[in-house]
Amino acid sequence: MIIVLKPEVTKEQQIQFSEMLKENYDVKVNVWNGVHSTVLGLLGDTTQIDIEYIDAQDIVESVKRVQEPYKKANRKFHPENTVIDLGNGLKIGDGSLQIMAGPCSVESEEQIVEIAKSVKKSGATLLRGGAFKPRTSPYAFQGLKSQGLDLLKIARKETGLPIVTEIMRSSHIDMFESVDIIQVGARNMQNFELLKELGKIDKPILLKRGLSATIEEWLMSAEYIMAGGNSKVILCERGIRTYENFTRNTLDISAIPIVKKLSHLPVIVDPSHASGKSWLVEPLAMAAVAAGADGLIIEVHNDPPHALSDGAQSLTPEQFDRTAKKILNLKQSLNS
């Protein structure tokens, strides 16, 4: 951490401040006296230092971190990729490509089992489906809730596909015990109370990026889960909010290589929510794979016009089959 002091700061103030820093944070402080200003360089573990606290000091002009504020999620301190083992040979983060597919909302046993079988045949390796749905309007369909979870388990039994589904409050964690991957939605990325609770369990967490979260904030939210002891975090880029409103969100394709560089955690992409339009799912999925994503999560519905939520962005099983083939071919050619 580098701290630039204001021009008018006295020698005495500078010494006092340096002493405070050494005492409170167990860091070394190097002083460099310029003509116009004095610069302090802090050595040691500065992740514990609140940059805003330093910035608030009367005598401080500006502060700059040299180290990232996250530790457990940081590739510097954990150079090898985190690989998440889902059993049965299914791994996320090992260089393979996992495709999670399924409807936005679970609607009935027939629906979810049919889709599960269909996407499995097309190449999906996990089943996604919403039981609890975060909806902008209180009057919109909110999901089948615990019944939806039961239906997902039936579909898993029928197909062997592990299941991914979203949690919305920490008091539901018990209900999610037999879920394979628990998803945290974009709107809850900074629901810190929920993240803390998920840090206490031993289950993979799919952490979606917030609508307007920076990559650093996203990694800090992963850090919340990891700080509690759960290191099985999968990051999911799902589009960010920008001024462009042709698409619902703007897929930040750069996030994939950036996360790969800054962190050791796996990162997947959700082209369905990123675009909000079914005809954009395939080109965005292709781009994500070419950019190095560890997986994809794609909405598939047997009858998109009658989907109870997010129909506009769902593929039909036939469309998914064609898209999955292209994606898997691309992945193969990249590997060869």
Closest distance to a second copy from the beta carbon of 87 (Å): 29
Per the structure block, which two tokens stand in for 250?
A: 């703007």
Strand partners, 35: none
**Cβ atoms of 99 and 123 closer than 8 Å:** yes
Q: Between residues 146 and 171, which has the closer beta carbon with respect to a second copy?
A: 171
Q: Which is nearer to a second copy, 157 or 169 (CB)?
A: 169
Closer residue to a second copy, CB minimum distance, 112 or 251: 251
Q: What minimum distance in Å lies between the beta carbon of 269 and a second copy?
A: 10
* CB nearer a second copy, residue 16 or residue 88: 16
> What angle is formed at CA 228 by the lines to CA 252 and CA 222, rounded to 5 degrees?
5
- Three-state DSSP at 19 gives helix
Query: Least distance (Å) from a second copy to the CB of residue 82?
Result: 18
Cβ neighbors of 317 (< 8 A, separation 6 or more) are 115, 118, 119, 122, 300, 302
Nearer to a second copy, 34 or 160 (CB): 34
Q: Name the residue among 234, 239, 262, 263 with its Cα closest to residue 252.
A: 239
* 3-class DSSP assignment, residue 90: coil
For residues 59 and 90, which CB has a smaller minimum distance to a second copy in the complex? 59
3-class secondary-structure state, position 10: coil
Residue 133 corresponds to which tokens in the numbers above? 């749905």
Q: Least separation, in Å, of the C-beta of 73 and a second copy?
A: 11
Query: Measuring CA to CA, which residue among 59, 85, 32, 120 is closest to residue 266?
Result: 85
Strands ordered across the beta sheet of 60-64: 28-33, 38-43, 2-5, 60-64
- CB closer to a second copy out of 81 and 190: 190
Q: CB of 282: closest distance to a second copy in angstroms? A: 8
Closest contact distance (angstroms) between CB of 307 and a second copy is 6
Q: How far apart are CA 170 and CA 161, in angstroms?
A: 25
Please give the distance of CA 63 from its chain centroid, rounded to a whole number: 28
CB atoms under 10 Å from CB of 212, counted, come to 12
Backbone angles phi, psi at 39, to 5 degrees: -120, 135
Distance in Å, CB of 156 to a second copy, minimum = 25
Query: Which C-beta is closer to a second copy: that of 33 or that of 178?
Result: 33
Least CB distance to a second copy at residue 188 (A) = 7
